[in-house]
Structure 1
């Protein structure tokens, strides 16, 4: 387990005052993943002069190419040039006279974490040299390896921006949960004053449009195997989360993730995995689950794959279900042996992944249980807010554009620390059960086929 802490600040007041009212702006974020690299070309307008008017999203144009940058580990000097098709796409979307003022950021995720330090540096050096010659606004420090924690924070910004929850007088900020192939990242607001027993090293301050927050980080890895018995599988899977009594003092609830102080869950959860409606008295009464196009959300994918979404009424692209629904579906899927699972899902687009469905759904149910969500919690599966895809790159674009407008040059959270705005104190706790918590998706827990 390891813990880290950074300041995280956004200065939208500066962004609003620095840009002409009504002017269109462009920015680029490369999401360099393990299987490919996706470019997001963002267009936004500035409005009136207040924080809420500083970033009015117009569009997100995207294109993905394969393979990912990590595929160039044996020939890293070629990595930069591999991005040319994406740059051609960007040039087709941005007026030629604005190319030189369009900032460009490349953030690499899982793939580059596995190639070794020297190879990673060589690949990023190639990217730096190539992108620096394109005519776009680019600095070498803007090509970085994105930590999973940062990805979770950017996702939180995306969700709360789309909920109009980042500014004074806006909606109450929501918490987010991102269930990924190798990690679980959770960010949620806490009371204005945390208990004195809460460990300071787990706190992360965030100032955004007049609000401040604190965040958690921790990583833990584990592997589990089973034999298709749902109850035993869930029991084993819950051990991954280390649910136990908390040692940080009175008034701190359980269950909690391993080694992590967890404040009470808020009433409002949204985003990568869950959202509780603020009008309910029970914190876990109503949850919304979402799938992100980063490829890191099993919640939406797996419930859709096993047919659970098909059994629920769909309204505005969203389907409601409870944690109990997920558990019953998991029991049904886990009762199949591998041959039965292959036959059951043979006609679906996810047939090749059928061997993972039992483990996936058990893992989801166990996670919600371990975090303290009630089995009657109502969840709504969706992948958009206001018809905008929920992707961490939007949060990254918001952060970087505000930093540039305010005179900062860094490309990560720490670089924005001096931009703090006076704000009402609140809190965000962020923790991540990180790379290795499961090798490539939840464990396979099917009955063995008969001899």
Structure 2
């Protein structure tokens, strides 16, 4: 009788052990590897399959739209972070379109916040910095209107589960925009961490344009205006750059000036603009800063290119400084530099390519004379835009033979200032 009793005890223990093993395995399988419990601090990291990750969310509030970049970084204490993944979404119009009714921008911001929430594990929300930086669109607004928009966004950010501070929502200084773009490009090319030379960055937006590069000649640093030279820490290295943002010299603002318009709405005045930079038989409408202008070409007189060149040179006279040494630096060029090269079919829209100053100039002469083979439905502003770009580049100190690299992405990552600004902000959190 003892044997059956003993066998029963062993059977009972076996069943109990099997049950405990089942519970343990089920619990382990039901918890995703990349999630860990409890609240996290700003220095916390998410681990998956032996890798360490951090996240950053950057809102780019531009003049024509608001874009969100959600970055996932693979961290290594001995090296710089590696960008592991980017999620990108965009909505229109830009924040400045809600200047008179700031509360109406909320729906779009909440829509983009939802994209961020769905892209980041909930366990990392409280440690993920959430930042919005507005660019030229808000810089050009009256201060009070811009502030109301920023306050609306700030309240939405504070209600979100992400890491948001007093400085999380701001208007980006044009110089910081240039520096952040420079960081992005050199991070993606690998030049930010190497011992070799870095590349320069040219950006032509709608309201402003930036130039940023790292001088190799001490004379450039000594002879440049003091506010054109900036030094900053990034990944345990100090970088010194020549950088300047020209507010009001972005392509759309420059168009208005060249056409003879004013940034301020006309008080009972005419919104009709007549310009030699437009085709002589052209008449149409153009909207800028919520004002719709009637734009017309000037009746045929002197050759269009020469007449337009004269207008552009007057607008740019004395407003741009030649950057010594820039002609010897390799540069990437972005935004409208890229778009107009695509219009001319000089580069592939998806792949990018290279362009020289003389290509812009030669194309301007062809387009303005009406002999261009560029796209049949080309913009009536193409002559004006190309003349402006070619003159601007020469005023910045680039010779006709200077070649620029044009790219929308590098290693499949968008070449905007957002990545560099995210790194810059995360660096600032280390000092808290």
TM-score (norm 1): 0.67
In structure 2, the partner of 1:210 is 237
Aligned-partner SS, 2:196: coil
Change (3 A) 1:240 1:94: same
Report if aligned partners of 1:159, 1:270 keep a CA contact under 8 Å in 2. Answer: no
- In structure 2, C-alpha distance between the alignment counterparts of 1:81 and 1:379, rounded to whole Å: 39
Pairing partner for 1:194 from 219, 222, 225:
219
- In structure 1, C-alpha distance between the alignment counterparts of 2:210 and 2:343, rounded to whole Å: 23
- In structure 1, C-alpha distance between the alignment counterparts of 2:403 and 2:98, rounded to whole Å: 45
Structure-to-structure mapping, 1:392-431, within 5 angstroms: 392-404=417-429, 406-408=430-432
In structure 2, the partner of 1:264 is 325
Q: Are residue 151 (structure 1) and residue 181 (structure 2) matched?
A: no
* Residue segments in structure 2 that go unaligned for 5+ positions in a row: 1-42, 249-253, 260-274, 278-303
Q: Are residue 36 (structure 1) and residue 65 (structure 2) matched?
A: yes
Q: Are residue 71 (structure 1) and residue 97 (structure 2) matched?
A: yes
Report if aligned partners of 1:38, 1:64 keep a CA contact under 8 Å in 2. Answer: yes
Aligned-partner SS, 2:159: coil
Higher helix share: 2
Q: Are residue 24 (structure 1) and residue 50 (structure 2) matched?
A: no
Q: Are residue 384 (structure 1) and residue 396 (structure 2) matched?
A: no
Report if aligned partners of 1:155, 1:395 keep a CA contact under 8 Å in 2. Answer: yes
Higher strand share: 2
Aligned-partner SS, 2:328: coil
Report if aligned partners of 1:78, 1:126 keep a CA contact under 8 Å in 2. Answer: no
In structure 1, the partner of 2:153 is 127
- In structure 2, C-alpha distance between the alignment counterparts of 1:197 and 1:110, rounded to whole Å: 28
| Pairwise CA distance, 1:184 | 2.2
Report if aligned partners of 1:158, 1:390 keep a CA contact under 8 Å in 2. Answer: yes
Pairing partner for 2:198 from 173, 186, 191:
173
Q: Deviations over 1:18-58 (max 9, x none)?
A: 968831111100111233211111001112x33xx231001
Q: Are residue 93 (structure 1) and residue 119 (structure 2) matched?
A: yes
- Larger CA deviation: 62-71 vs 199-208: 199-208
Q: Are residue 237 (structure 1) and residue 264 (structure 2) matched?
A: no
Aligned-partner SS, 1:233: helix
TM-score (norm 2): 0.69
Report if aligned partners of 1:26, 1:102 keep a CA contact under 8 Å in 2. Answer: yes
Report if aligned partners of 2:54, 2:73 keep a CA contact under 8 Å in 1. Answer: yes
Change (3 A) 1:318 1:66: closer
RMSD: 3.0
Change (3 A) 1:128 1:324: closer
Aligned-partner SS, 1:204: strand
Aligned-partner SS, 2:115: helix
Change (3 A) 1:309 1:242: same
Pairing partner for 1:335 from 357, 369, 384:
369
Report if aligned partners of 2:174, 2:244 keep a CA contact under 8 Å in 1. Answer: no
Report if aligned partners of 2:305, 2:368 keep a CA contact under 8 Å in 1. Answer: yes
Aligned-partner SS, 1:74: coil
* Residue segments in structure 1 that go unaligned for 5+ positions in a row: 1-16, 244-256, 274-290, 292-296, 409-451
Report if aligned partners of 2:188, 2:410 keep a CA contact under 8 Å in 1. Answer: yes
In structure 2, the partner of 1:318 is 352
- In structure 2, C-alpha distance between the alignment counterparts of 1:18 and 1:93, rounded to whole Å: 18
| Pairwise CA distance, 1:218 | 6.2
Change (3 A) 1:332 1:65: same
- In structure 2, C-alpha distance between the alignment counterparts of 1:304 and 1:329, rounded to whole Å: 12
Aligned-partner SS, 1:215: strand
- In structure 1, C-alpha distance between the alignment counterparts of 2:162 and 2:122, rounded to whole Å: 10
In structure 2, the partner of 1:363 is 388
| Pairwise CA distance, 1:173 | 1.4
Q: Deviations over 1:250-271 (max 9, x none)?
A: xxxxxxx64x473322533233
Change (3 A) 1:232 1:387: same
Report if aligned partners of 2:75, 2:82 keep a CA contact under 8 Å in 1. Answer: yes
In structure 2, the partner of 1:298 is 336
